[in-house]
Amino acid sequence: MNRRCLIVGSAIQVSDVVKTYPLGADEVVAVDHLDLGIEEGEFVAVVGRSGSGKTTLLNLLAGIDRPTSGSVVAAGADLGSLSESGLAEWRGRNVGLVFQFFQLLPTLTVAENVMLPMDFAAKIPAVRRRDRARELLERVGIGDQADKLPSMLSGGQQQRAAIARALANDPPLLLADEPTGNLDSHTADAVLEVFAGLNAEGRTIVVVTHERDIRAIVKREITLVDGRVVADESVVAR
Ligand code: ADP
Ligand code: MG
Protein backbone atom coordinates (compact mmCIF):
# COMPACT_ATOMS: atom_id res chain seq x y z
CA MET A 1 0.00 0.00 0.00
CA ASN A 2 1.14 3.53 -0.69
CA ARG A 3 2.37 4.90 2.61
CA ARG A 4 1.19 8.40 1.72
CA CYS A 5 -2.41 7.21 1.68
CA LEU A 6 -2.13 6.48 5.38
CA ILE A 7 -1.19 10.03 6.35
CA VAL A 8 -4.20 12.19 7.02
CA GLY A 9 -4.56 15.88 7.76
CA SER A 10 -2.40 18.84 6.92
CA ALA A 11 1.11 18.49 5.64
CA ILE A 12 2.05 21.82 7.24
CA GLN A 13 0.46 24.06 9.84
CA VAL A 14 2.23 27.29 10.72
CA SER A 15 0.53 29.14 13.59
CA ASP A 16 1.30 32.73 14.53
CA VAL A 17 5.00 32.33 13.81
CA VAL A 18 7.43 35.15 14.41
CA LYS A 19 11.12 34.90 13.57
CA THR A 20 13.46 37.72 14.48
CA TYR A 21 17.19 38.03 14.05
CA PRO A 22 19.35 40.31 16.18
CA LEU A 23 20.76 43.32 14.34
CA GLY A 24 23.11 45.23 16.60
CA ALA A 25 21.02 46.52 19.48
CA ASP A 26 17.89 46.11 17.36
CA GLU A 27 16.28 43.17 15.59
CA VAL A 28 15.05 42.25 12.11
CA VAL A 29 11.59 40.73 11.89
CA ALA A 30 12.03 38.15 9.11
CA VAL A 31 8.67 36.39 9.62
CA ASP A 32 5.88 38.40 11.19
CA HIS A 33 2.90 36.64 12.83
CA LEU A 34 2.49 34.25 9.94
CA ASP A 35 -0.31 31.67 9.70
CA LEU A 36 -0.26 29.13 6.91
CA GLY A 37 -1.83 25.73 6.29
CA ILE A 38 -0.76 23.43 3.48
CA GLU A 39 -2.60 20.20 2.77
CA GLU A 40 -1.20 16.87 1.68
CA GLY A 41 -0.44 16.82 -2.02
CA GLU A 42 -0.39 20.56 -2.58
CA PHE A 43 2.15 22.18 -4.89
CA VAL A 44 2.80 25.67 -3.56
CA ALA A 45 5.02 28.46 -4.82
CA VAL A 46 6.28 31.07 -2.36
CA VAL A 47 7.15 34.31 -4.12
CA GLY A 48 8.24 37.75 -2.97
CA ARG A 49 11.11 40.17 -3.26
CA SER A 50 14.54 39.55 -1.86
CA GLY A 51 14.42 39.92 1.92
CA SER A 52 10.69 39.19 2.21
CA GLY A 53 11.28 36.13 4.40
CA LYS A 54 11.01 33.26 1.92
CA THR A 55 14.19 31.43 2.96
CA THR A 56 13.44 32.02 6.64
CA LEU A 57 9.99 30.48 6.19
CA LEU A 58 11.40 27.47 4.36
CA ASN A 59 14.05 26.95 7.04
CA LEU A 60 11.32 27.05 9.70
CA LEU A 61 9.30 24.44 7.77
CA ALA A 62 12.40 22.24 7.51
CA GLY A 63 13.24 22.62 11.19
CA ILE A 64 16.60 24.13 10.26
CA ASP A 65 15.59 27.24 12.21
CA ARG A 66 13.28 27.53 15.19
CA PRO A 67 10.63 30.24 15.48
CA THR A 68 11.07 33.04 18.01
CA SER A 69 7.41 32.40 18.88
CA GLY A 70 4.52 30.39 17.44
CA SER A 71 4.42 26.80 16.26
CA VAL A 72 5.24 24.77 13.18
CA VAL A 73 3.69 21.35 12.63
CA ALA A 74 5.01 19.54 9.57
CA ALA A 75 4.89 15.97 8.28
CA GLY A 76 3.17 14.77 11.42
CA ALA A 77 5.45 16.39 14.01
CA ASP A 78 5.20 19.47 16.21
CA LEU A 79 8.72 20.70 15.53
CA GLY A 80 8.89 22.73 18.74
CA SER A 81 8.57 19.53 20.77
CA LEU A 82 11.60 17.89 19.16
CA SER A 83 15.20 18.05 20.42
CA GLU A 84 17.97 18.96 17.98
CA SER A 85 18.72 15.29 17.33
CA GLY A 86 15.01 14.54 17.10
CA LEU A 87 14.64 17.31 14.51
CA ALA A 88 17.56 15.96 12.48
CA GLU A 89 16.05 12.49 12.48
CA TRP A 90 12.59 13.80 11.59
CA ARG A 91 14.05 15.90 8.76
CA GLY A 92 16.08 13.03 7.36
CA ARG A 93 13.00 10.85 7.06
CA ASN A 94 10.33 13.35 6.11
CA VAL A 95 11.81 16.29 4.24
CA GLY A 96 13.66 16.50 0.95
CA LEU A 97 15.59 19.76 0.56
CA VAL A 98 16.73 21.34 -2.70
CA PHE A 99 18.87 24.48 -2.82
CA GLN A 100 19.82 27.06 -5.43
CA PHE A 101 23.46 25.99 -5.61
CA PHE A 102 22.79 22.22 -5.59
CA GLN A 103 25.23 21.56 -2.70
CA LEU A 104 26.38 18.19 -3.96
CA LEU A 105 29.52 16.85 -2.32
CA PRO A 106 32.26 17.28 -4.96
CA THR A 107 34.38 14.25 -4.04
CA LEU A 108 31.52 11.73 -4.21
CA THR A 109 29.97 10.41 -7.41
CA VAL A 110 26.43 11.45 -8.24
CA ALA A 111 25.09 8.04 -7.11
CA GLU A 112 27.07 8.26 -3.85
CA ASN A 113 25.59 11.71 -3.22
CA VAL A 114 22.12 10.20 -3.54
CA MET A 115 23.00 7.30 -1.23
CA LEU A 116 24.36 9.52 1.54
CA PRO A 117 20.99 10.53 3.07
CA MET A 118 19.92 6.88 2.96
CA ASP A 119 22.98 5.98 5.04
CA PHE A 120 22.19 8.76 7.55
CA ALA A 121 18.50 7.99 8.01
CA ALA A 122 18.72 4.19 7.76
CA LYS A 123 15.12 4.16 6.52
CA ILE A 124 15.96 2.32 3.29
CA PRO A 125 17.56 -1.14 3.85
CA ALA A 126 21.30 -1.07 3.14
CA VAL A 127 21.07 -3.70 0.40
CA ARG A 128 18.58 -1.53 -1.51
CA ARG A 129 20.45 1.77 -1.43
CA ARG A 130 22.67 1.48 -4.48
CA ASP A 131 19.83 0.29 -6.72
CA ARG A 132 17.50 2.90 -5.30
CA ALA A 133 20.01 5.69 -6.08
CA ARG A 134 20.12 4.47 -9.71
CA GLU A 135 16.33 4.33 -9.89
CA LEU A 136 15.98 7.87 -8.54
CA LEU A 137 18.56 9.18 -11.00
CA GLU A 138 16.61 7.47 -13.80
CA ARG A 139 13.46 9.03 -12.42
CA VAL A 140 14.88 12.55 -12.81
CA GLY A 141 16.36 11.75 -16.21
CA ILE A 142 20.10 11.39 -15.50
CA GLY A 143 20.56 7.66 -14.94
CA ASP A 144 23.54 7.76 -17.31
CA GLN A 145 25.41 10.25 -15.08
CA ALA A 146 25.40 8.11 -11.93
CA ASP A 147 29.12 7.32 -11.80
CA LYS A 148 30.41 10.80 -12.63
CA LEU A 149 31.57 13.46 -10.24
CA PRO A 150 29.16 16.41 -9.89
CA SER A 151 31.65 18.78 -11.57
CA MET A 152 31.28 16.82 -14.81
CA LEU A 153 27.54 17.58 -14.98
CA SER A 154 25.76 20.67 -16.32
CA GLY A 155 23.89 22.91 -13.89
CA GLY A 156 20.55 21.39 -14.84
CA GLN A 157 21.93 17.88 -14.40
CA GLN A 158 23.39 18.80 -11.00
CA GLN A 159 20.02 20.13 -9.88
CA ARG A 160 18.36 16.89 -11.06
CA ALA A 161 20.94 14.99 -9.00
CA ALA A 162 20.11 17.18 -6.00
CA ILE A 163 16.41 16.41 -6.49
CA ALA A 164 17.20 12.67 -6.62
CA ARG A 165 19.16 13.10 -3.38
CA ALA A 166 16.19 14.93 -1.83
CA LEU A 167 14.03 11.90 -2.72
CA ALA A 168 16.49 9.43 -1.19
CA ASN A 169 14.38 8.58 1.85
CA ASP A 170 11.04 8.89 0.05
CA PRO A 171 10.00 12.01 2.01
CA PRO A 172 6.36 13.10 1.89
CA LEU A 173 7.47 16.75 1.83
CA LEU A 174 9.81 18.47 -0.64
CA LEU A 175 11.09 21.98 0.09
CA ALA A 176 13.06 23.85 -2.55
CA ASP A 177 14.66 27.29 -2.15
CA GLU A 178 15.05 28.96 -5.55
CA PRO A 179 15.95 25.65 -7.22
CA THR A 180 16.02 27.28 -10.66
CA GLY A 181 17.78 30.48 -9.59
CA ASN A 182 21.08 29.37 -11.06
CA LEU A 183 19.74 27.84 -14.29
CA ASP A 184 18.92 29.24 -17.72
CA SER A 185 15.19 29.51 -18.42
CA HIS A 186 14.95 26.43 -20.64
CA THR A 187 16.73 24.27 -18.05
CA ALA A 188 14.67 25.88 -15.30
CA ASP A 189 11.44 24.85 -17.03
CA ALA A 190 12.65 21.26 -17.31
CA VAL A 191 13.57 21.15 -13.61
CA LEU A 192 10.18 22.59 -12.64
CA GLU A 193 8.55 19.86 -14.74
CA VAL A 194 10.40 17.30 -12.62
CA PHE A 195 8.79 18.85 -9.53
CA ALA A 196 5.38 18.78 -11.25
CA GLY A 197 5.80 15.06 -11.91
CA LEU A 198 6.73 14.44 -8.27
CA ASN A 199 3.68 16.38 -7.14
CA ALA A 200 1.50 14.30 -9.48
CA GLU A 201 2.75 11.26 -7.56
CA GLY A 202 1.29 12.78 -4.40
CA ARG A 203 4.23 14.53 -2.80
CA THR A 204 3.66 17.87 -1.09
CA ILE A 205 5.97 20.49 -2.56
CA VAL A 206 6.80 24.02 -1.47
CA VAL A 207 9.05 25.89 -3.85
CA VAL A 208 10.49 29.36 -3.36
CA THR A 209 10.98 30.86 -6.77
CA HIS A 210 11.45 33.94 -8.90
CA GLU A 211 10.22 32.22 -12.05
CA ARG A 212 7.63 34.41 -13.71
CA ASP A 213 5.75 31.52 -15.25
CA ILE A 214 5.56 29.44 -12.08
CA ARG A 215 1.78 29.76 -12.17
CA ALA A 216 1.71 27.43 -15.18
CA ILE A 217 3.11 24.70 -12.93
CA VAL A 218 1.95 25.14 -9.33
CA LYS A 219 -1.55 24.96 -7.88
CA ARG A 220 -1.19 27.74 -5.34
CA GLU A 221 0.93 30.86 -5.03
CA ILE A 222 1.72 32.61 -1.76
CA THR A 223 3.23 36.09 -1.84
CA LEU A 224 5.31 37.39 1.07
CA VAL A 225 6.04 41.01 1.88
CA ASP A 226 8.04 41.82 5.02
CA GLY A 227 7.46 38.38 6.47
CA ARG A 228 3.70 38.43 6.02
CA VAL A 229 1.41 36.67 3.57
CA VAL A 230 -0.13 39.42 1.40
CA ALA A 231 -1.64 37.14 -1.23
CA ASP A 232 -2.61 33.46 -1.22
CA GLU A 233 -4.11 32.41 -4.53
CA SER A 234 -5.28 29.16 -6.06
CA VAL A 235 -3.95 28.72 -9.55
CA VAL A 236 -6.48 27.20 -11.92
CA ALA A 237 -4.51 27.34 -15.16
CA ARG A 238 -3.13 23.83 -14.85
P1 ADP B 1 14.34 36.04 1.20
O2 ADP B 1 14.70 34.59 1.17
O3 ADP B 1 12.92 36.31 0.84
O4 ADP B 1 15.29 36.85 0.40
P5 ADP B 1 15.23 35.94 3.97
O6 ADP B 1 14.34 34.99 4.67
O7 ADP B 1 16.57 35.46 3.59
O8 ADP B 1 14.47 36.56 2.70
O9 ADP B 1 15.44 37.23 4.88
C10 ADP B 1 14.36 37.91 5.52
C11 ADP B 1 14.94 39.03 6.37
O12 ADP B 1 15.66 38.50 7.46
C13 ADP B 1 15.91 39.94 5.63
O14 ADP B 1 15.76 41.25 6.14
C15 ADP B 1 17.25 39.38 6.00
O16 ADP B 1 18.24 40.38 5.94
C17 ADP B 1 17.01 38.91 7.42
N18 ADP B 1 17.85 37.73 7.77
C19 ADP B 1 17.75 36.50 7.21
N20 ADP B 1 18.62 35.65 7.77
C21 ADP B 1 19.29 36.38 8.72
C22 ADP B 1 20.33 36.07 9.65
N23 ADP B 1 20.85 34.84 9.75
N24 ADP B 1 20.77 37.07 10.46
C25 ADP B 1 20.23 38.30 10.38
N26 ADP B 1 19.25 38.66 9.54
C27 ADP B 1 18.79 37.71 8.71
MG1 MG C 1 16.08 33.55 0.05
Q: What is the pLDDT of residues 189-234, one digit of tens each?
A: 999 999 999 999 999 999 999 877 788 889 999 999 999 999 999 9
- Three-state secondary structure call for residue 222: strand
For the Cβ of 234 lying below 6 angstroms from any atom of ligand 1, the answer is no
Burial class (CB in 10 A: 0-12, 13-18, 19+), 221: middle
Question: Which atom of ligand 1 is closest in space to residue 227's alpha carbon?
Answer: 10
Q: What is the pLDDT of residues 93-148, one digit of tens each?
A: 999 999 999 999 999 999 999 999 999 998 999 999 999 999 999 999 999 999 99
Q: What is the pLDDT of residues 27-85, one digit of tens each?
A: 999 999 999 999 999 999 999 999 999 999 999 999 999 999 999 999 999 999 999 99
Query: Higher model confidence: residue 212 or residue 150?
Result: 150
Provide the β-strand partners of residue 20: 29
Q: What angle do CA 59, 87, 129 make, to 5 degrees?
A: 95
Please identify every residue whose CB atom is under 5 Å from ligand 2, which is an ion: 54-55
In order of their start, the domains of the chain are: 3-234 (3.40.50.300)
Q: Whose CA is nearest to atom 15 of ligand 1?
A: 51
C-alpha–C-alpha distance, residues 101 and 205, integer Å: 19
For the Cβ of 26 lying below 6 angstroms from any atom of ligand 1, the answer is no
Q: What is the pLDDT of residues 167-196, one digit of tens each?
A: 999 999 999 999 999 999 889 999 999 999
Question: Which atom of ligand 1 is closest in space to residue 22's alpha carbon?
Answer: 25
C-alpha–C-alpha distance, residues 20 and 23, integer Å: 9
Among all ligands shown, which has an atom nearest to the Cα of 51? 1
Question: Whole-model pTM above 0.75?
Answer: yes
